[in-house]
Amino acid sequence: MDEAFTGVETQLGITAACRLTGRSRAAHYRSLKPPTVRAPRSCMQVQPSALTDQERAAVLKLMNSDEYAELAPAQIWAREPDAGRYHCSVSTMYRILREQGQSGERRRQATHPARAVPALVATGPSQVFTGDIAKAAGPAKGTWYHAYVIIDIFSRYVVGHTVERAGSAVRAEELIRETIIHNDIVPQTVHADRGTSTTSKKVSQPLIDPGVAWSHSGPRVSNDTPYSEAQFKTAKYVSDHPERFDSPVHAREWSDALIAYYNQEHRHSGIGWHTPASVHFGTAGEVRDQRAVTLAQAYTRHPERFSRRPRPPALPQTAWIDDLAKRRVSAPPTS
C-alpha cells in the first residue's frame, strides 16, 4: 500500500494522491515520523537520590511507632536530629505516607493569616506576655471550667496557668502576680483580650505599679491573642483530650500534664521547631548546633539526596502581636 501510494504521490503530489487513494493527509505525515517507543516504566532509571526500599520501610516503621504515631512528619523530623539521627526530608516522609494511604490519618496543619504592621514586639523571652481564658466542659451540661493561660510570645513558653470554676478578675490578678514573681523578670507588656476578667481595674492597676504596660485587643477583634488561641487549639487536638472533665481537680491535673508536654516536648514551627523551654531558657542554640552536625553528616553520606547543603531552621529573632490601629495600649506612668 505504501509503495503504491509513493508512486502516485510522485506523479500527482501529496494532496492529489491522498484524495485519489482516500488516505488522510494527517495519517500520511504521521507515517513519515513514527512515534518513539518508550521503555516500560519498570525499566526506567532509578533516581540516585531515592531511598532504598529498606530505608523507606524503616522510615514508615518509625513514623508508625508508638512514640511518633500521633505526630506530624515535621514534628518527627525535628525530634530525630535532636537524637543524632537523620533519615530523610519532611517531604519524603509525606510522600511515603501518601503511598501507604496514611497521610489523612495525621493531624491537620494549621494556617495563619498574613502578618500586619506589628504593634507589640518581643526580641527575647520575658518581654511580652499574652493571656487568655478558655472554657472546658464540666461533668454536666451547662457546667464549664475556666482555664487561664499566660504565654511568653517570643518563646511560646507557658509561664503561668490554672483552672478555676469561673472567670474571676481576682483570680486573674493573682495569677499575673504569681507569674511575674515566679518568672523573676518583669515583662514590658502583658496583652489580653477584652474579657471582663482581664479589663477590670483590679487587674490592670497592679500592673502599672512595677512599670508593666497593659495591652488589650481591639473592639470586636476575636483573634487578637493568636499565641493563646494557637495553644488552646493544640490542647484541643491532643488525642487524650477529655470530652468532659469530672471536676476542677481533674481539669487541673490534665492541664498540668499538657502544659509540661507543651513546654518541654512539643516542637513549635514558629520557633524553628524547638521546644518552648529550649528557646525560653537559652538552650536552643546548642540544639541547633547539634542538628547542624547531624545534617552535615547525612549530607556527607548521601550528597546526591540533597539539592543543596541542608541547614537546620533558623532561631526566632522577633515575635509580634499585630494591628496597632485596633489596639489601645496603656503605658506605665512616667516619673
Closest by CA to 319, choosing from 156, 189, 184, is: 156
Q: What is the pLDDT of residue 70?
A: 85
CB within 8 A of 307, min separation 6: which ones?
none
User: Residues 64-109: pLDDT tens digits?
Assistant: 998 998 888 999 999 999 999 999 999 999 999 999 888 775 555 5
What is this structure's pTM? Answer: 0.66
Interatomic CA distance for residues 231 and 158, integer angstroms: 9
Interatomic CA distance for residues 238 and 129, integer angstroms: 24
Q: What is the pLDDT of residue 327?
A: 47
User: Residues 215-241: pLDDT tens digits?
Assistant: 655 544 555 677 777 888 888 888 888
Q: What is the pLDDT of residue 84?
A: 92
Contact 191, 131 (CB under 8 A): yes
Q: Per-residue pLDDT for the chain (335 aa), expressed as one digit of tens each?
A: 555 666 555 656 777 777 777 778 888 778 777 777 666 655 556 567 788 999 999 999 999 998 998 888 999 999 999 999 999 999 999 999 999 888 775 555 566 665 444 478 889 998 988 888 888 889 998 899 988 899 999 999 999 998 988 877 788 878 888 888 888 777 878 877 655 555 555 555 555 556 676 665 554 455 567 777 788 888 888 888 888 999 999 999 999 999 999 999 999 999 999 999 999 999 999 999 999 999 999 999 999 999 999 999 999 898 887 645 444 444 444 43
Q: What is the pLDDT of residue 245?
A: 92
Q: What is the pLDDT of residue 332?
A: 44
Tell me the sheet residues that pair with 118. Answer: 322
Three-state SS letters, the chain:
CHHHHHHHHHHHCHHHHHHHHCCCHHHHHHHHCCCCCCCCHHHCCCCCCCCCHHHHHHHHHHHCCCCCCCCCHHHHHHHHHHCCCCCCCHHHHHHHHHHCCCHHHCCCCCCCCCCCCEEEEECCCCCEEEEEEEEEECCCCCCEEEEEEEEECCCCCEEEEEEECCCCHHHHHHHHHHHHHHHCCCCCEEEECCCHHHHCHHHHHHHHCCCCEEEECCCCCCCCCHHHHHHHHHHHCCCCCCCCCCCHHHHHHHHHHHHHHHHHCCCEHHHCCECHHHHHCCCHHHHHHHHHHHHHHHHHHCHHHCCCCCCCCCCCCCEEEECHHHCEEECCCCC
C-alpha cell at 53: 526500599
Stated length of the chain = 335
292-302 burial, b if ≥16 CB within 10 A, otherwise e? eebbeebbeee
- What are the Cα distances from residue 262, in Å, to 57, 58, 274, 279? 30, 28, 11, 13
User: Residues 250-276: pLDDT tens digits?
Assistant: 999 999 999 999 999 999 999 999 999
